[in-house]
Amino acid sequence: MTIDRTIASDDAANTPVAGSATKARMVGGIPVAWQRTAFFIAVVIAIALPFLVKNFTIFQLTTVMIYAIAILGLNLLTGYNGQFSLGHSTFIAIGAYTTAILMEFAGLSFYGTLPIAATICFAFGFLFGLPALRLESIYLALATFALAVATPQVLKLSPFEHWTGGVQGLLVFKPEAPFGLPLNSDQWMYFVTLAIGLGLAVCAVNLVNSRSGRAIKAIRDNPIAARAMGINISLYKTTTFGISAAYAGIAGSLSAVVVQFVAPDSFTFVLAIGLFVGLVVGGVGSITGALFGGLFLVFVPNIAEEVSKGLAGAVYGVILLLVIYLMPAGAVGLIRTAAMKLATRRR
């Protein structure tokens, strides 16, 4: 089984629509001006929000962005490179524990741990990418899932207990805003996450549109042809795995300080499955989709709780089914179709 590409792929966005050159510049059937405006409005809202809502909501929004970063990483791997992962919770865990342990035992500041977490996760991802080369689709899905299942158990192991805190986990200190900025720590971490998230999104966009990005996508679409074109498949696949894991690791690192706590049971396979759901719901092969995926992961379970306490899981399941019926190409697919219709009507 191969991953279908008819889904909200950004590839489509890169082919200018014929005959549109004379009018406004278009990408993917949507005027670039619209996309710019939408992005600008989104950034303005994102900056204004933490001054308008409760601290708990700020915390939730920060969590949305953290999920979005991890989903973005998963998307690079699954959406653009065609490799399954049901095990990205592992890399989140590695990132989170790296930060927690370094802050606790090495006295590093959070900001100092971030690049280390990313690097360690890249290395782990790259190494895991090596056996992954020999596994295809469902087999890879199962192997990564095994990783996700094993992770909390490894974290609980007694030989590591001194470092990991065992079942109890570790408390993590949440940084305050520096330079006397008039922000509370929730607001500060929100902005830190926003800045990192935007930076990573820009990196992702540049990556997928680069030469290497084309190679990554070519491998997904047609590995045989890609090899014939002289693309080093193994190198690209393992590197993509590493980059994807690094994204997840950064998300994990952020989550450790935002939640102020790391424990094995925060990183079960349920988290990995959640990321996968976020990926599909947001839009496979779409950078902006990650944000919608994050929103879904944070808010839909709450909504389900509110509809029915006893049957929250069932409500969640039904919502999930409705989402894939109504938006088979994810939230971004839906938005893109709507915008394209609007754009054509205006012409």
Partner 1 sequence: MDLFIHQVLAGLATGGIYACMALAIVMIYQAIHHLNFAQGEMAMFSTFIAWQLIEWGVPYWGAFFLTIVVSFIGGVVIERTVFKPLHNAPILAHIVAFIALFAIFNSVAGFIWDFTIKSFPTPFGQESLFGSGLMGAHDAGMIGVTLVLLVLLFLFFRNTRVGLSMRAAASNPDSARLVGVRVGWMIALGWGMAAAIGAVAGMMIAPVVFLEPNMMLAILIYGFAGAVVGGLTSPGGAVIGGFAVGIIENLAGTFIPVVGSELKLAIALALIVTVLMFKPTGLFGARIVTRV
Using rule CB under 8 A, residue 78 touches partner 1: yes
* The binder of partner 1 chosen from 19, 159, 178, 230 (CB under 8 A): 159
Candidates 328, 334, 337, 340: give the one binding partner 1 (CB under 8 A): 328
150 near partner 1, judged by CB under 8 A: yes
- C-alpha 295: how far from its chain's center? 11
Report the run of H or E that residue 308 belongs to, with start and end: none
Beta carbon nearer to partner 1, 86 or 102: 86
Q: In the complex, what is the shortest distance from the CB of residue 283 to partner 1, in angstroms, rounded to a whole number?
A: 11
Residue with tokens 């929730």: 186
Site for partner 1 in 252-281 (CB under 8 A): 273, 276-277, 279-281
Applying the rule CB under 8 A, the residues between 121 and 140 that interact with partner 1 are: 131, 134-139
Q: Which residues contact 308 (CB under 8 A, 6 or more apart)?
A: 314, 315
SS (H, E, C) 148-193: HHHHHHHHHCHHHHHHHCHHHCEECCCCCCCCCCCCCHHHHHHHHH
Cα separation, 302 vs 295, whole angstroms: 11
Q: Look at the chain and count its residues.
A: 347
Question: Angle at CA 186, nearest 5°, toward 182 and 191?
Answer: 75
- The closest alpha carbon to 346, from 105, 23, 71, 49, belongs to 23
Each residue 218-257 as x (binds partner 1 by CB under 8 A) or -, in order, gives ----------------------------------------
By CB under 8 A, tell whether 303 contacts partner 1.
Answer: no
Shortest reach from residue 79's CB to partner 1, in Å? 9
Rounded to a whole number, what is the distance in angstroms from the first to the last CA of the chain?
40
202 versus 311: smaller Cβ distance to partner 1: 311
When the beta carbons of 103 and 281 are compared against partner 1, the nearer one is 281
Binding region for partner 1 (CB under 8 A) out of 28-36, 147-155, 198-206, 211-219:
147-155
| CB of 108 or CB of 146, closer to partner 1 | 146
Q: Find the shortest distance in angstroms from Cβ 327 to partner 1.
A: 10
Return the residue of 122, 316, 332, 343 that touches partner 1, per CB under 8 A: 316
* Type of residue numbered 304: A
Total number of residues that touch partner 1 (CB under 8 A): 47
Find the binder of partner 1 among 48, 235, 313, 342 (CB under 8 A).
313
Smallest distance, partner 1 to C-beta of residue 168, A: 16
Among 225, 318, 338, 342, binds partner 1 (CB under 8 A): 318
**Cβ atoms of 280 and 330 closer than 8 Å:** yes
What is the C-alpha to C-alpha distance for residues 109 and 103, in angstroms, rounded to an integer? 6
- Minimum CB distance to partner 1, residue 47 (Å): 33
Single out the residue of 297, 295, 323, 319 nearest to residue 307, CA to CA.
Answer: 319
Residue 104: strand, helix, or coil: helix
Residue 153 or 222 having the CB closest to partner 1: 153
Question: Which position among 284, 290, 297, 335 is part of the footprint of partner 1 (CB under 8 A)?
Answer: 284
Nearer to partner 1, 2 or 55 (CB): 2
Nearest to 204 by CA among 87, 77, 16: 77
- State how far the Cα of 173 lies from the Cα of 113, in Å rounded to an integer: 13
CA 3 to the chain's CA centroid: 18
Where along the sequence are the contacts to partner 1 (CB under 8 A)? Answer: 1-4, 6-7, 78, 131, 134-139, 141-143, 145-146, 149-150, 153-154, 156-157, 159, 273, 276-277, 279-281, 284, 310-318, 320-321, 324-325, 328
